Structure 1
Amino acid sequence: MARIENHRYSIVEAFTENFYIVPDYQREYVWTDKEVQQLLEDINEQFEADSAREYFIGTILVSPTPDKNHFDVIDGQQRLTTFFLLLCALKHVFKGDEQRKAIGDLISKNYIANDGLIKHSLKLEPRYENAGEIMAKIVELDAEPQTVRARIQAANIASFGSLENLVNAYDTLHRYLQENYDVEAKLRKYLGHLASNVVFIQISTDVSSALKIFETINERGVGLNPMDLLKNLLFTQVKQEKFTQLKDEWKKITKPLEKQNEKPLRFLRYFLMANYVIKNNRNDAVVREDEIYDWLVEKGNAALCDYANKPFEFVRKIIRNVEHYLAFANRQGNDGKSNLTMESLNRLTGGAFSLHYVLLLAAANFPKPLFDHLVAQMESFLFCYIFTKTPTKDLERNFSLWADELRTIGDVTDATEQKLKLNAFVTDRFKKSIEDKTPELSDALKRMSFYSMQQYRTRYFLAKLTQHVDMAFKGLKDPNSLEPYTRLEIEHILPNTPKPELRATWAEQNPSAEYDDYKSRLGNLTLLEKPLNIVAGNDFYDIKKVEYEKSGNYLTRSLPQLIEAGQNTSITRINEMLGAFPEWNAASIEKRHELMITLAKEIWRTAPIEV
């Protein structure tokens, strides 16, 4: 059994006797101003109440390295790093040379290495990314935070994410000392408190045992999120010589998510629901964020993931899902290239809805034509649910179960059979759901106005209608990008801010129709190029319709009159669904509202893929 030692240290004693190394495979510095301030205030509260009383900050878990008194930090580096930065800030604000020298010895010092050479090292050295450079620069400069930040930037040292957290923490600590201990005597007393009364227990054992202890301490997620716990869990499955390799693979998960500001826990939740059969006591097939780690370590699920026997394969599976996840967020298909169907779906969902990523990840290995077809059908399905404002929780269980079906379809090797199974899935899951909600959707669209949805979704709705009409007008089947339409301005045909005489005329001609109600109705909205919109202004319809006839899109251009072009042409066929409006009144708005609903039902519907 591995030898386990424990020692009680004050903060000053710890940095007097020991050198701490934060290995590059460990969690980076994630504390923000909130956590740093909380630690300082907790210490200060006890210090002000009873300066002679000990303040216990918990347990630090370390593993000894070959160099004497050098330890890899396994758990507790957030606290240790914060206290090290506090020492750096204390050294700078102290005026007395004796204190500055004593604190300097707590920050860095010479030591005799195993080879007999004299080496100089920081008492806490982080080895992830450029953290060592950042920390060394803070120590070297011994300066005001703004000077430190400027010099780090001038040295071209990358400082984003956890690296920026180090600089911010130094700033917070420095400012706290200046605001609360501006008198030298108070500052000396505070240093004495750190030297004697702020204490922790240091547990030391070999790396393997330390990681196991770490897992046990944090198995309920105390202080760590499931992503950190999963990382540690995987490190317990490999030999120490594989740590660097595993660390490098793990960065391919965390760094891309961090750079695109995606939430790691949301991704991890969707990854599990997309890739595994989810069973729980609620029988809802859903994994919540706070349940991720418990789900992973449950015996049956651990066997399902098989990370104990194949940790690197499991990590690479997560990496592939990260790549797809970020591609989908960037409107790319499952081939990593720009994708019109994904672009259109993204314009519908925006940043407010992301649960469909469960289905996208589950279908990520589909042949591209099948994947694109699924996305197009999914857009119709989600349009129905989003525009009826159906709560997300109603979809979670279905999406997790449907992901299991999509994985099965993805495993089919016969192309024809795969298409047939996908058509059956779309019919059973999407089409039937849409049919069930059709009355609810019809009611929602009848009540739709400029203010019903977020503006980007209203713009998306109008853009899809406008694109559909243009395609029908030109006899086209395959849509191009929706972007040109989303750049158009939303025009209120009955002006949003009317002239007084226009409002009076409306009231006289439409006595039972409230102006402010009708001006916001769906039937009163259209898309118009900005220059034409400026000219049209807030005038009467007879004046505005001259500008509408100049529009590049037929849905708007056809408002005053339809274009006639022979018999049974693409133009005459779309004309049957539209209508000309020589006058603009309450009846016109109501009629146009109805035809727009009819167009919507034509657009957002499912269709089978050709077998």
Structure 2
Amino acid sequence: MADPTNFGHDRLAHLLSDRLLKVPRFQRSYSWDDANVKEFLDDLENARSGKQSYFMGTVVLASDTEHSSRQLIVDGQQRLTTTAILLVAIRDRLKQLGKHDHANAVDETYLRRFELMQEERVTRLILNPVDAPSYERMLSGKSGTPNHPVVRCYEICKGHLMDLAPGDSDYKILLDMVDQLERRVQVLLALASELSEAYVIFETLNDRGAELTTADLLKNYLFSQAGRDYLALVERSWTTISSAFDKADDLVKFIRYEYMSIHGKVTMRNLYKSLQGTIGKTPVGIREYLLRLERALVSYLALREPDNSHWTGINTDVRDSLMANRRFGFESSTPLLLAAFRSWETEKAAKLVNKVTGWSIRSVVGGKIGGGQSEEAFCAAALAVAGGKATTQDQVRSHLSHVVPNDEDFTQAIQAYGPLSLARAKYLLARIERQIILAGGGNAEGLPDWSSTSVSVEHILADSMTRQSFESDDEFTEFATMRARIHNLTLLEKSLNRNLADKPFVEKRETYSKSKFTMTRQAGEPASMDVKAIRERGRLLARYAPAAWPL
């Protein structure tokens, strides 16, 4: 049976001088921004001015089973790291003021100590692998990675100290700051014998009210409920999952989509509570959830990256669809696709990727994506797939009929869609180009890669044209509405597109005739081009849209 948790009072800097501490490798990185650091420094200054103690909340530590001499920081990482960085800045400022003995004392007492048996200086606070390199460089008096949060914190502390102690005679202000951190910045210390017990304490003390992300809360919950037998699995699995994301918000987004792929729509506000209810409190439930989350992560990362190795060996080409999803920011369909890759065989799920992208194009062009309507529909379809009630594409589409326009509505909507960014225009024009070729009995496989930098988007009537180029205000107004829609845009090889942008149409025609794109050669066939012709071209291109993105 584990020893009971010890509770007591301590002081913030004294924790650094009295113990060897470590941030667990699965813990989130240092995340205090400029405002957090400045608030901390201001609070310390106000407390010093009023000769008052300053309470900094609870610090929760746990024994490190890998290194018995160290303790793991479960709660208090941000405060302890900021304190250590401030002490590094104080040390460096003391050196600048010529107080080398004082600086060495700060370094030895709070930052690094010499271990006789190891015959080397040991860092008192070890940060996680993301933060450690910059922190260790600062300890050695070198510059860390620019704009890294740890380095930003140091720069703010350094500037603060320069203001407080600008001259040689002001060094005692720095010593008073050290004394304050050592003796007058109070914390409540909870010291647990096991990591899982430490997270139980953390969960109880924070009561979900601290400024933590859903990912932080979920991590704490998983560790607190894992039990001794599954603790190593939880640590390994959580490290694998969380390290796939640079930002906590992106991790939370993935967790939410995975939840919705099984249980239906949930708001971000209710996600953590919903997760607790579905995961349960048994170690076996924790294990099953994490293993499921790891499997979903494979599909999720593949859906975000066209060149992911997950697509190797799959006969269905999903690259264009994944590129489109990225360019249009399609995310509401993610729960549905995760459900399909979990419930269907891979080839069948990959085919659904292409179909769902086509439905999403119809939906966004028709103004149906946004406002939560599409997410509701896609989550309903995901539930049907997860529950085995939708096993075909047609059955999936039945849940999306109210957000996916029919052919007639889609044809009308795409003529009014825009203005288009060049990235989105390239995709839309490429799919229509492909359909033009197929409708003419040709082979579309030899087309240049639309997503490459070798293909550009060309304005048929120059984007720079002004009112003086048109016979009436009405004609110019109509041009202005169409200049960045498919009507006036075409694909062109960049090697042909040099210096064409502002030229009149009659000077572009010969270049268009050399293009490999059918729509571009066709655009150059008329002897002249005016607003009426551009309008008609938009209608013609729109006719191919239903076949390019079929229901």
- TM class by shorter chain equals 0.7 to 0.9
The one-letter code matched in structure 2 to 1:177 is L
The change in CA–CA distance for 1:598 and 1:65 in structure 2 (over 3 A counts) is: closer
String of CA shifts for 1:214-261, please: whole Å, max 9, x gaps: 1112341513212122222222233447544432222211112229x9
String of CA shifts for 1:28-83, please: whole Å, max 9, x gaps: 433344433332233224434x1x11111111112356999964322112211221
- Could you tell me whether the CA contact under 8 Å between 1:125 and 1:135 is conserved in 2? no
- The match for 1:354 is 331
- The match for 2:266 is 287
- The match for 2:246 is 258
The change in CA–CA distance for 1:435 and 1:5 in structure 2 (over 3 A counts) is: closer
String of CA shifts for 1:426-461, please: whole Å, max 9, x gaps: 44134564346953x455333345xx2333222221
Q: Distance in 2 between matches of 1:175 and 1:603?
A: 59
Q: Distance in 2 between matches of 1:511 and 1:256?
A: 52
What displacement does 1:401 show?
Answer: 1.8
- Could you tell me whether the CA contact under 8 Å between 1:302 and 1:308 is conserved in 2? no
| 1:72-111 alignment runs, 5 A limit | 72-94=72-94, 95-103=98-106, 104-109=108-113
- The match for 1:573 is none
- The match for 1:201 is 188
- Could you tell me whether the CA contact under 8 Å between 1:492 and 1:524 is conserved in 2? yes
The one-letter code matched in structure 1 to 2:414 is L
The one-letter code matched in structure 2 to 1:344 is S
The change in CA–CA distance for 1:485 and 1:133 in structure 2 (over 3 A counts) is: closer
What displacement does 1:204 show?
Answer: 2.4
Q: Distance in 1 between matches of 2:289 and 2:251?
A: 16
The one-letter code matched in structure 2 to 1:386 is V
- Could you tell me whether the CA contact under 8 Å between 2:505 and 2:529 is conserved in 1? yes
- Could you tell me whether the CA contact under 8 Å between 1:524 and 1:593 is conserved in 2? yes
What displacement does 1:23 show?
Answer: 3.8
- The match for 1:58 is 57
- The match for 2:458 is 491
The one-letter code matched in structure 2 to 1:530 is K
- Could you tell me whether the CA contact under 8 Å between 1:108 and 1:120 is conserved in 2? no
Q: Distance in 1 between matches of 2:201 and 2:113?
A: 30
Question: Secondary structure of the equivalent of 1:475?
Answer: coil
The change in CA–CA distance for 1:79 and 1:120 in structure 2 (over 3 A counts) is: farther
Mean CA deviation greater in 223-232 or 326-335: 326-335
The one-letter code matched in structure 2 to 1:172 is I
The change in CA–CA distance for 1:602 and 1:206 in structure 2 (over 3 A counts) is: same
The change in CA–CA distance for 1:359 and 1:222 in structure 2 (over 3 A counts) is: same
The one-letter code matched in structure 2 to 1:597 is A
The change in CA–CA distance for 1:340 and 1:245 in structure 2 (over 3 A counts) is: same
What displacement does 1:210 show?
Answer: 2.4
- Could you tell me whether the CA contact under 8 Å between 2:361 and 2:549 is conserved in 1? yes
String of CA shifts for 1:290-344, please: whole Å, max 9, x gaps: 322211222xx124xx863143332222122122111111125894338633433
The one-letter code matched in structure 1 to 2:201 is I
2:471 corresponds to 1:507: yes
The one-letter code matched in structure 1 to 2:161 is L
- Could you tell me whether the CA contact under 8 Å between 1:465 and 1:600 is conserved in 2? yes
- The match for 1:600 is 545
| 1:336-415 alignment runs, 5 A limit | 336-337=311-312, 340-350=317-327, 352-365=329-342, 366-390=344-368, 391-409=370-388
2:208 corresponds to 1:234: no
String of CA shifts for 1:366-397, please: whole Å, max 9, x gaps: 33432232122212211122123331411122
| 1:494-573 alignment runs, 5 A limit | 494-498=461-465, 503-504=468-469, 506-507=470-471, 516-517=480-481, 519-520=483-484, 522-534=486-498, 538-561=502-525
Q: Distance in 1 between matches of 2:152 and 2:268?
A: 28
String of CA shifts for 1:539-568, please: whole Å, max 9, x gaps: 44444323322221111212355xxxxxxx
Q: Distance in 1 between matches of 2:56 and 2:172?
A: 25
What displacement does 1:195 show?
Answer: 3.2
TM-score (norm 1): 0.77
Q: Distance in 1 between matches of 2:544 and 2:404?
A: 16
- Could you tell me whether the CA contact under 8 Å between 2:55 and 2:185 is conserved in 1? yes
The one-letter code matched in structure 1 to 2:256 is R
- Could you tell me whether the CA contact under 8 Å between 2:455 and 2:491 is conserved in 1? yes
Q: Distance in 1 between matches of 2:21 and 2:451?
A: 57
Q: What is the percent sequence identity of the aligned residues?
A: 21
Question: Secondary structure of the equivalent of 1:236?
Answer: helix
Q: Distance in 2 between matches of 1:336 and 1:550?
A: 35
Q: Distance in 2 between matches of 1:88 and 1:536?
A: 58
Q: Distance in 2 between matches of 1:496 and 1:99?
A: 67
Q: Distance in 1 between matches of 2:482 and 2:135?
A: 63
The change in CA–CA distance for 1:480 and 1:271 in structure 2 (over 3 A counts) is: farther
Aligned residue among 281, 285, 291 for 1:316 = 291
Q: Distance in 2 between matches of 1:59 and 1:335?
A: 44
2:437 corresponds to 1:470: yes
Question: Secondary structure of the equivalent of 1:271?
Answer: helix
The change in CA–CA distance for 1:521 and 1:32 in structure 2 (over 3 A counts) is: closer
String of CA shifts for 1:99-134, please: whole Å, max 9, x gaps: 33432223334679xxxx688775733264376666
2:44 corresponds to 1:43: yes
The change in CA–CA distance for 1:517 and 1:244 in structure 2 (over 3 A counts) is: closer
What displacement does 1:477 show?
Answer: 7.6
What displacement does 1:273 show?
Answer: 0.7
The change in CA–CA distance for 1:385 and 1:181 in structure 2 (over 3 A counts) is: farther
What displacement does 1:173 show?
Answer: 2.6
The change in CA–CA distance for 1:262 and 1:364 in structure 2 (over 3 A counts) is: farther
- Could you tell me whether the CA contact under 8 Å between 1:2 and 1:209 is conserved in 2? no
Question: Secondary structure of the equivalent of 1:507?
Answer: coil
The one-letter code matched in structure 2 to 1:102 is A
- The match for 1:585 is 530
- Could you tell me whether the CA contact under 8 Å between 2:208 and 2:217 is conserved in 1? no
What displacement does 1:403 show?
Answer: 0.8
Question: Which structure has the larger Rg?
Answer: 1
- Could you tell me whether the CA contact under 8 Å between 2:324 and 2:357 is conserved in 1? no
- Could you tell me whether the CA contact under 8 Å between 2:256 and 2:266 is conserved in 1? yes
Aligned residue pairs, count: 537
The one-letter code matched in structure 2 to 1:599 is Y
Mean CA deviation greater in 329-338 or 201-210: 329-338
Question: Secondary structure of the equivalent of 2:22?
Answer: strand
Q: Distance in 2 between matches of 1:72 and 1:521?
A: 58
Which residues of structure 1 form unaligned runs of 5+?
Answer: 150-158, 279-285, 413-417, 562-580, 607-611
String of CA shifts for 1:164-219, please: whole Å, max 9, x gaps: 54444334333432243333233233233323322212122332432211111234
The one-letter code matched in structure 2 to 1:47 is R
Q: Distance in 2 between matches of 1:41 and 1:272?
A: 42
Mean CA deviation greater in 31-40 or 357-366: 31-40
2:420 corresponds to 1:453: yes
Q: Distance in 1 between matches of 2:256 and 2:550?
A: 29
- The match for 1:425 is 395
Question: Secondary structure of the equivalent of 1:533?
Answer: coil
